[in-house]
Chains A and B, each alone.
Chain A
């Protein structure tokens, strides 16, 4: 996946300025930076969720498998099937059971084969490391499990439709340290099959899970390279200041 001179606005406010970055497949890329720097907006541009917000628009090119997802004849719905998303706050569908939450993406996309759906739900829940905990409670309410479990349920839900890329927008910011470490382990496993892009406030988290790290400031991409390099020997002064906490 690759962005090319990507710009994004909310009304007249420009949240993303000329960001060009190449994201490596089957690796985890973290995006860090202070609040309001455009990290979330950037990943919301990668599955065309940015434009769902009223008055928001984006310009530029985002290539997925060499194809521009912003080109005129591309349906955003198709893109979102290929690029899944996990949000900051766990948002399972509260009116649905655990099983139906995971099956929803499949069913709503026209899959009727219940046997396949059952298999896919189990597979996704296993990948999200949630299967053992909800195995006996698949008919229970999706909102009735703990916050950490809900977030893994949301991850399973995103995985069920087999996307190529999984975007995670601060997936652990609403969770306690134990749930967080479970999700971090999970992210580590996920990159075998998926390309993971994670936005995080937490620099240790970026250092733990990401192969590559991008640092953003005021809508611009300041530095982007291997995580080790960013944390140990950053090129830009701004990055170093942020990493070491001597900011502002």
Chain B
């Protein structure tokens, strides 16, 4: 028998398959159980009032809502995006289009390091710089911390999607006597648009759920805040504060907020998938 025992071989094959399948369940089970738990306990909280009204007083039994925290989260996400998206896109453009040198390579390396940075460290940095510097927690400080988390995500996805733009397209534009910067802006960017938008949306999904940097930077306010240089309430901080409180109505609000955040982030990710199906159709030409 040159080929060995066929029966034993088949058995080994089955065994390996079974182990792989088991591992898949082991990986998916916690995720599914978290999702179910959050949705089962959170969804019943949803009502018109939940999304619009003021935060509830503790222990009164009144249901209350998360209006101020939603608005506050929107503020910090918008500040973070306003800083993080342009910086990320332009640094991605630099690394992809002009970064074929030691500087570009170091920028790429730093971006990688930055994207692996624990978010609590980012929070401490913003805390030292802006909270201590400006004399207290503010929406600005939170937005700034989120932008630091956003930059590497946007930069990497911009770089990757521009690298997929075929060189022949750049040459076509250069050969028409179009300067390099115009070629980049008008041809290369419009070509990599889908990839960049995907990266931007995913980075928003990423910062929407960030909590550690916000805990250190935005403080807390139970009211709708109109000034960005004041402490504000945000959803992740709400979940932390209310979820660990002894009051039942607060804990319920924390569940509802968790469910809302999960649904929001999931729909961003799924939306991107649906929108950009076949997004690289161009590069197949």
Q: How far is the CA of A36 from the CA of B186 in the complex (A)?
A: 33
A-B contacts at CB below 8 angstroms, number:
74
Question: Which stretch from A2-10, A83-91, A235-243 is at the chain B interface?
Answer: A83-91
Residue from the list B166, B174, B183 in contact with A49, Cβ < 8 A: B174
Residue from the list B166, B176, B282, B285 in contact with A161, Cβ < 8 A: B176
Segment 94-130 of A: residues with Cβ below 8 Å from B: 94-96, 104-105, 108-109
Tell me, yes or no, whether A157 is within 8 Å of chain B by CB: yes
Q: How far is the CA of A187 from the CA of B177 in the complex (A)?
A: 22
CB within 8 Å for A108 and B285 given contacts A77-B178, A87-B168, A95-B191: no
A143-B175 in contact (CB<8A): no
Chain A: CB-nearest residue to B170: A52
Return B187 CB to nearest CB of chain A, in Å.
6
Segment 13-37 of A: residues with Cβ below 8 Å from B: none
Query: Which residues of B have CB within 8 Å of A47?
Result: 175
Query: Which residues of B have CB within 8 Å of A11?
Result: none
B177-A78 in contact (CB<8A): yes
Q: How far is the CA of A79 from the CA of B177 in the complex (A)?
A: 7
B176-A143 in contact (CB<8A): no
Q: How far is the CA of A80 from the CA of B179 in the complex (A)?
A: 10
Return A9 CB to nearest CB of chain B, in Å.
18
Return B100 CB to nearest CB of chain A, in Å.
6
Residue from the list B100, B166, B171, B173 in contact with A104, Cβ < 8 A: B173
Query: Which residues of A have CB within 8 Å of B182?
Result: 108
B179-A77 in contact (CB<8A): yes
Chain A: CB-nearest residue to B282: A94
Q: How far is the CA of A54 from the CA of B187 in the complex (A)?
A: 20
Query: Which residues of B have CB within 8 Å of A82?
Result: 177
A143-B177 in contact (CB<8A): no
Return B279 CB to nearest CB of chain A, in Å.
12
Task: Output the residue of A54, A92, A93 with the most chain B CB within 10 A.
Answer: A93
Q: How far is the CA of A79 from the CA of B174 in the complex (A)?
A: 11
CB within 8 Å for A95 and B168 given contacts A77-B179, A84-B176, A108-B186: no
Residue-wise, chain A 42-57 has the 8 Å CB interface mask toward B (1 for contact) of 0000010100101000
Task: Give chain A's interface residues, CB within 8 Å of chain B.
Answer: 47, 49, 52, 54, 77-82, 84-85, 87, 89, 91-96, 104-105, 108-109, 143, 154, 157-158, 161
Task: Give chain B's interface residues, CB within 8 Å of chain A.
Answer: 100, 166, 168-179, 182-183, 186-187, 190-191, 193, 282, 285
Contacts beyond the supplied A87-B172, A157-B172: 18 A-B pairs with Cβ under 8 Å: A49-B171, A78-B177, A80-B174, A80-B175, A80-B176, A80-B177, A84-B176, A85-B175, A87-B168, A89-B168, A91-B168, A93-B191, A94-B169, A95-B190, A95-B282, A105-B176, A108-B173, A143-B285
Closest 5 CB pairs of A and B: A81-B177, A105-B176, A80-B177, A85-B175, A91-B168
